[in-house]
Amino acid sequence: MHTDSSFTFVLFGGTGDLSMRKILPALFEAHRAGGMLADSGKIVAVARHIADRGEYLQWVDGHVKPHVSKNGLDEAAWTSFLARIEFVKIDLGNPDDFALLRDAIQPMPGIRVFYLATGPSLFVPICHALAAVGLNQNSRIVLEKPLGYDLKSSNAINDAVGEIFAEEQIYRIDHYLGKEPVQNLLALRFGNALFEPLWRREWVESIQITIAEELGVEARGDFYDNTGALRDMVQNHLLQLLSIVAMEPPHSMDSDSVRDEKLRVLRALKPIDPQEIGKVAVRGQYHSGVIRGNAVPAYATEHGVKPDSSTETFVALKVEIENWRWAGVPFFLRTGKRLADRVAEIVVNFRAVPHSALGASALRAGANRLVIRLQPNETIRLYCLAKQPGEGMNLASVYLDLAFDRFFREAQMEAYQRLLLDVINGRLALFVRRDEQEAAWRWVEPILNEWQVSTKPPKPYAAGTWGPAAASAMLAQHGTCWLEEEN
């Protein structure tokens, strides 16, 4: 992913949490690696509460440096990275200030990237202000989630941004698509004759996709209480991962070929009948509990949350895909806050052998499974049965560990690093196209509407557990269980 392309990377929300924890550290890692960023490339931070470049560099040194020095910091690389950074003080609410930005970046060479690490309410005003000073030409714009509150508001944002930037200029980021195991999932499926013939209804019994968090809403109570887990995680991250898992082989890995196949999956999702939502969707809300020995409060008592809130902090769904490859195979999606562990993983449970001469253990569900773990550690493991040492034919579960670090000496890229390099280099395959986003919102909307008018409160679960019992009961009806409950 080396490039000689010159660029000007303009970071709106330059003092925000996302810039501090993810974007600037990712750019530094690309800079430190050498050759990934053109020497002439510049980073221009935009904020209104900082006076000048000197003060901003002090902020970066104090707030960003701790997030890049966990494994040791090359001070020479850090100093040269700071030399890339410029700063422009702008009040985003004042369109006239954008002339200052234009004048600052006009002499800088190369493609312009505008990264909107701001609230979605600022996306359209920023785009209009950029266009007013002619900065929408020869540029790319990156939009963070959430992009809208529902299908209507998402379309409104996309319509407004689309009047200013062409679709090929718009990069809707979903950082889960940049994770190394997701990339390796594509390599496993489409690069190996061993897996692709098994990747279908005849051999796959069920698939689970989990994104679980130990954290609560932290300081985002106001935001989260108006969002909820379905909007925050399912509509984007989980459905994007599902589309990657279930897609047909693309004819090539160019951006539209990959995204065309993902779109076909999203359009093939079985529509949810509002009358059936209670059978295929579980919503929960955490109560007080204990995580790693520490007492944590109930969601309803978090700062910024309404005491009588019915906002869901947990969602579990049964999803079906109506096509020949996946007809009849349930996909189980799960996400939540204040769960027992921080984990993101995809579990492909293969069907048991049709007849076993080796005993009942060879017939149990999930005896063969592929586990793609995205966090906290990134691994891919293939589980199978093997004979235990000793007398008799006693079977035990073992796994083949695809330990990429043993084969590849290069350090793994963080998701944001890969995606930011893709933006700079004009690669769209790992970004969400508008029609994908619309298809995801359209599928999710019946659930949103039903929960909005429902008088039934979310099912309670204690913080530090794996969510409401109803989520486990939903899988039990299909003769399976969540992977964490097997271990």
Q: Give residue 401's pLDDT.
A: 87
The backbone region for 338, taken as left when phi is positive above 0, alpha when psi lies in -120 to 50, beta otherwise, is: left
In a domain, 137, yes or no: yes
Give 363's pLDDT tier (boundaries 50, 70, 90).
Answer: low
Q: Are residues 293 and 390 in the same domain?
A: yes
Give the pLDDT confidence of 193-216 residue by residue, as tens digits: 888 899 999 999 999 999 999 999
Residue that is last in its domain, among 122, 144, 166: 144
Q: Give residue 182's pLDDT.
A: 87
Q: For 368-380, what is the mean pLDDT?
A: 88
In a domain, 120, yes or no: yes
Q: Are residues 287 and 213 in the same domain?
A: yes
Q: Are residues 140 and 181 in the same domain?
A: no
Q: Give the range among 28-42, 144-158, 385-399, 403-417 with minimum mean pLDDT.
A: 403-417
What is the share, in percent, of the chain residues with pLDDT greater than 90? 71
In a domain, 400, yes or no: yes
Verify cis geometry, omega within 30 degrees of 0, for the bond prior to 468: no
DSSP-assigned beta bridge partners for residue 315 = 283, 335
**What's this model's pTM, rounded to 2 decimal places?**
0.92
| 70, 163, 410, 415 from 405: Cα distances, Å | 19, 45, 8, 17
Is the confidence at residue 305, as pLDDT, over 50?
A: yes
Burial of 156 (0-12, 13-18, 19+ CB in 10 A): middle
Give 93's pLDDT tier (boundaries 50, 70, 90).
Answer: confident
Residue that is last in its domain, among 97, 122, 144: 144
Q: Are residues 375 and 305 in the same domain?
A: yes
Q: Give residue 71's pLDDT.
A: 63
What is the domain count for the chain? 2
In a domain, 159, yes or no: no
Q: Are residues 200 and 121 in the same domain?
A: no
- Domain range enclosing 315: 177-412+432-486
Give the pLDDT confidence of 141-185 residue by residue, as tens digits: 999 887 889 999 999 999 999 999 999 999 999 999 998 888 888
Q: Give residue 109's pLDDT.
A: 84
Q: Are residues 21 and 131 in the same domain?
A: yes
Q: Are residues 251 and 322 in the same domain?
A: yes
Q: Are residues 188 and 318 in the same domain?
A: yes
Give the pLDDT confidence of 428-459 residue by residue, as tens digits: 999 999 999 999 999 999 999 999 999 899 99
Residue that is last in its domain, among 126, 144, 162: 144
In a domain, 266, yes or no: yes
Give the pLDDT confidence of 315-344 residue by residue, as tens digits: 999 999 999 999 999 999 999 999 999 999
Give the pLDDT confidence of 2-14 residue by residue, as tens digits: 455 799 999 999 9
In a domain, 168, yes or no: no
Q: Are residues 30 and 113 in the same domain?
A: yes
Average predicted confidence (pLDDT) for the chain:
91
Find the CATH number of the domain harbouring 443.
3.30.360.10
Q: Give residue 4's pLDDT.
A: 55
Give the pLDDT confidence of 232-291 residue by residue, as tens digits: 999 999 999 999 999 999 998 888 999 999 999 999 999 999 999 999 999 999 999 999
Q: Are residues 241 and 125 in the same domain?
A: no
The dihedral sign for the CA sequence 382, 387, 393, 395: negative
Paired sense of beta strands 85-89 and 42-47, if any: parallel
Catalytic residues: 237
Is the confidence at residue 362, as pLDDT, over 70?
A: no
